[in-house]
Amino acid sequence: MVSRIGRRRGKTTTALFLLLISIATGQVSAAGSLGLHVNSGGALTRNGAPYRGIGVNYYDAFIRTLRNPQDVSYRDGFSKLGEHQIPFARFAAGGYTAQDFKLYLTDKDAYFRLLDGVVQSAEKSNVGLIASLFWSIAAVSDLVQEPREAWGNPQSKTRQFMRNYTQEVVARYANSPAIWGWEFSCELSLAVDLPNPPRNSDKIAARAISLANFQSATLDFAKVVRSIDSNRILLTGNSLPRASAYHNMTEGGFASDTEQQFATILLRDNPGPFSPICIHASPAAIDRYFGDHRVSYGQLLQTCINIGRSAGKPIYVEEFVPVPAREGLLGGGGKDYFAQELNAIETSGVPMASVWVYDRKLLPDRSNLTFENERSYMLDMIAAANRRLH
């Protein structure tokens, strides 16, 4: 006869097993109501209602504590975002270098305790997270000691690592209200089929990947995420296509693409289940022609919206830079430049955008925004824009 304690233990074990299965398959209750979603009409929604918001890129919130576990300064960073009602942050939810992933291999519990701290801090501050799992594909390639081309091989150690890491991260945080969406990489499309890249000096060329490998790896990532989380938005993390991307692909040349050719590449770079369409673009970087006509920043955003609408996909301006690369552009930089940029984003109807970059610690960045530095007013302007959008 089985003792009462034995029966109780058996029931506990069974319940735990069923809970683990439900987590692994993304069937945990209420998961469908979490995060951001693109509905059947192609609209970005949150909690079933249309959503618009402007957030930040909090790139190194996790990487800083991964490299120095004593650095939990992200807590204060998230707290201030929450206090100013800046709704979400995009961050690197994995290592940027192979060294960054070493802890994951040697002490997985310690690795996830650090990532838990970031996610829990965002939860506490009511800040949503766009989690970018493989910000640099080079980190994984170097970690498993395979060439970049291995991303295109479903049987490679690279792809196996990608699937394992994605499954563990997505399953672990599938029920976190902080997670708003899952992203594959960052600006990987800029390295797709780049003609004759310089081998030693160009950092994009150093990440070069063929279109076939890019598509294979990207869609495999989506498949793993969707096996666990069928609801939240999926993002490629890609930039605006290069001005000659279509000609790069078809001719290996650098002639300026027409608007239709631009549309072909924009949709190519955000395939299948990936929605919203990602673009990284700021006014100072947009002095381009579509065939025979030049477009402004606002016109470019509207063009992207129209292209996305044709495919039932909204647009997310993942990175817009608050400070132009060269002074004297569009109002001379500073407040005038940023006001024009923010106004174009707000009036275009783009549902989602995030500024580059907030509270960056690991490297100096002239675009860095904090609530204490000389660009703090830009965060105040973003907060005011969010109040208007809501």
Q: Please give the pLDDT value at position 326.
A: 59
Report the mean per-residue pLDDT for the chain.
88
| pLDDT tens-digit readout, 99-153 | 999 999 999 999 999 999 999 999 999 999 999 999 999 999 999 999 999 999 9
Contacts of residue 343, defined as CB under 8 A and 6 or more positions apart, other chains included, come to none
- Tally the C-alpha atoms within 13 A of residue 370's C-alpha that lie toward its C-beta: 12
Q: What is the dihedral of CA 61, 66, 70, 76, to 10 degrees?
A: 10
Residue 285 has pLDDT above 90, yes or no: no
Where is pLDDT greater, at 122 or 207?
Answer: 122
pTM: 0.89
CA–CA separation, 126 and 79 (whole Å): 9
- For 25-43, how does the pLDDT look when each residue is reduced to its tens digit (9 = 90+)? 444 434 457 999 999 999 9
In what order do the strands lie in the sheet containing 44-46? Answer: 36-38, 44-46, 49-50
Q: What is the mean pLDDT of residues 276-289?
A: 83
State the pLDDT at residue 327. Answer: 52
Q: How far apart are CA 368 and CA 77, in angstroms?
A: 13
- Tokens read off for 260: 């239709």
Single-letter code of the amino acid located at 24? A
Task: Tell me the pLDDT tens digit for each residue of 318-377.
Answer: 999 998 865 544 444 579 999 999 999 999 999 999 999 999 999 999 899 999 999 999
**pLDDT level of residue 292 (50, 70, 90 thresholds):** low
Give the best-scoring range by mean pLDDT among 38-42, 239-243, 295-299, 325-329.
38-42
Which residue is associated with the tokens 């990489």?
A: 185
Q: Per-residue pLDDT for 207 more than 70?
A: no
Give the separation between CA 100 and CA 103, rounded to whole angstroms.
Answer: 7
**Model confidence band, residue 9 (pLDDT cutoffs 50, 70, 90):** very low
pLDDT category, 49, cuts 50, 70, 90? very high
For the stretch 147-173, pLDDT in tens is: 999 999 999 999 999 999 999 999 999
- Of 315, 269, 235, 274, nearest to 44 by C-alpha is 315
Query: Which pLDDT does position 323 carry in this prediction?
Result: 87
Q: Is the pLDDT of residue 20 over 50?
A: no
pLDDT recorded at residue 32: 58
Specify whether the CB–CB gap between 128 and 35 falls below 8 A. Answer: yes
Cα separation, 91 vs 113, whole angstroms: 17
